[in-house]
Amino acid sequence: MSDLTIRSVESRIIDVPLIRPHGFATTTSTEQHILLVSVQLENGVMGYGEGVVPGGPWWGGESVETMKAIVDGYLAPVMVGRKVSELAGIMADLERVVARARYSKAAVDVAMHDAWARALNIPVRDLLGGTVRDKVDVTWALGVLPLNVAVAEIEERIEEFGNRSFKLKMGAGDPAEDTRRVAELTREVGDRVSIRIDINARWDRRTALQYLPKLAEAGVELFEQPTPADDLETLREITRRTNVSVMADESVWTPAEALAVVKAQAADVIALKTTKHGGLLESKKIAAIAEAGGLACHGATSLEGPIGTAASLQFAAATKAISYGTELFGPQLLKDTYIVQDFEYKDGQVTIPEGPGLGVDIDLDKVNFYTRQ
């Protein structure tokens, strides 16, 4: 019997350039910074996971630099010497040593899933219950862009990859101007593709109730987190007042928060990010709560690289509740990859990789090339 004991846990920061700047409500990224975590077992098997946040600590308080300190200094010592088949027990013990820090915990959760599945020569999806789907729809996110640039990018993605839905980031500028820009764009392309918006919790109640109806009228199909995370009352009011689906993102980090959204009937969809929730085990709980409460889950992203994306794809493969498509386009936003395989993005979908573990293999030369000195 091969030895499933964790021999070592290592991490390094890699910086990968983006194909174009990605504008969020509060910052703009030109590179994605990723904490690549590796877990090696005594039998020699390696597993990988990514610690990754969208564009820096503005989103959830963690950054690759803080994650490195947490993983190396606090999580790794709890993991080394334990059997990877005790994953649930290890994750529970991590809670005793480090509060919150869910992005850091996601990186080690995924690396352990990958190593364990590889040791058993099965895909990670089999550890999560097996397959419900082998492809998922992919929404392309545009960031904050001027109208003509956004339209050109949408046309290009439709032509090249058949994307059928697009997410625009809002909340960076004056709400009236921002609304005009997005409403005009929606009128221009909204009969051919679905336009969704993500305001990243930047609007207050009054602004949201003033401008969201105009966006609904223009044909926007989904409002993602228009208002502050803790204000479920307003989110519920928006859900009630408009016919547009409302997605909770910043409002749901934990299973308890997912339950609160269900109880408050504050949204129709939950943005499920395997990173934000602290890994695949915690994400399963969110999915179960959403499903029981009659909410759909969207396979959302923190702009993961290929390893983190493969993890979220394995999760979507095994989780029926991911019924509102995905935005797992992270690898397409990176200028280069650091896995051996290419993902198959086609007809607005991506095929979920097969093969042991996450279904993708690391390209160590590339990883070395992008490692921060």
- Residues near ligand MUC (CB under 6 A) are 54, 141, 143, 169, 198, 200, 249, 300-301, 303, 327
Which of residues 333 and 358 has its CB atom nearest to ligand MUC in the complex? Answer: 333
Whichever of 120 and 172 has its CB closer to ligand MUC, that residue is 172
Query: From the list ligand MUC, Mg ion, none, which binds 301 (C-beta under 5 to 8 Å, kind-based)?
Result: ligand MUC
CA–CA distance, 328 with 291 (Å, rounded to integer)? 21
**Residue 142 three-state SS:** strand
Q: How many CA within 13 A on the CB side of residue 1?
A: 4
In terms of CB distance, is 141 or 270 closer to ligand MUC? 141
Long-range contact list for 247-250, CB < 8 A, 24+ apart?
A: 247/196, 247/222, 247/223, 247/271, 247/298, 247/324, 249/198, 249/200, 249/201, 249/224, 249/225, 249/273, 249/300, 250/200, 250/201, 250/225
156 is a catalytic site residue: no
Catalytic residue status for 335: no
Quote the tokens at residue 320: 């029926």
Which two structure tokens, joined as six digits, stand for 323?
């019924």
CB 330 within 8 A of CB 309: yes
**Using an 8 Å Cβ cutoff, are 135 and 352 in contact?**
yes
In sign, the C-alpha dihedral spanning 95, 35, 39, 274 is: positive
DSSP codes of every residue in 189-232: HTTTSEEEEE-TT-S-HHHHHHHHHHHHHHT--EEE--S-TT-H
Toward Mg ion, which CB reaches closer, 78 or 296? Answer: 296
169 makes contact, choosing from Mg ion, ligand MUC, none, with CB < 5 to 8 Å by partner type, with: ligand MUC
Q: Judged by CB under 5 A, does residue 304 bind Mg ion?
A: no
Name the residue nearer to ligand MUC (CB basis): 24 or 338: 24
Smallest distance, Å, CB 1 to ligand MUC?
A: 42
* Neighbouring-strand partners of residue 248: 270
Site string for Mg ion, 193-232 (x = CB under 5 A): -----x-------------------------x--------
CB burial of residue 88 (10 Å; 0-12, 13-18, 19+): exposed
> For residue 210, what are its two tokens?
């003033």
Residue showing tokens 């997005």: 182
Question: What, of ligand MUC, Mg ion, none, does residue 54 touch, CB below 5 to 8 Å by kind?
Answer: ligand MUC
Could you tell me the smallest distance in angstroms from the CB atom of residue 301 to Mg ion? 9
Out of 250, 257, 304, 327, pick the active-site residue: 327
Q: Determine the residue with CB nearest Mg ion.
A: 249
Q: How far is the CB of 105 from ligand MUC (least distance, A)?
A: 19
**Least distance (Å) between residue 249 CB and Mg ion:** 4
CA atoms of 125 and 100, how far apart (whole Å): 25
249 vs 268, which CB is nearer to Mg ion? Answer: 249
Residue 282 binds: one of ligand MUC, Mg ion, none (C-beta under 5 to 8 A by kind): none
Query: Taking the complex as a whole, how short is the minimal distance between the CB of residue 31 and ligand MUC, in angstroms?
Result: 15
Q: Does 50 interact with Mg ion (rule: CB under 5 A)? A: no
- Contact between 249 and Mg ion per CB under 5 A: yes
For residue 141, the partner it binds in Mg ion, ligand MUC, none, with Cβ less than 5 to 8 A by kind, is ligand MUC
Are 39 and 108 in contact, with CB atoms under 8 Å apart? yes
- 327 is a site residue for Mg ion (CB under 5 A): no
Instruction: Give 302 or 319: the residue with its C-beta nearer to ligand MUC.
Output: 302
Catalytic residue among 68, 167, 169, 273: 169
Residues 208 and 238: their CA atoms lie apart, in Å, by: 8
- Write out the catalytic residue numbers: 169, 327
- Which residues of the chain form contacts with Mg ion (CB under 5 A)? 198, 224, 249
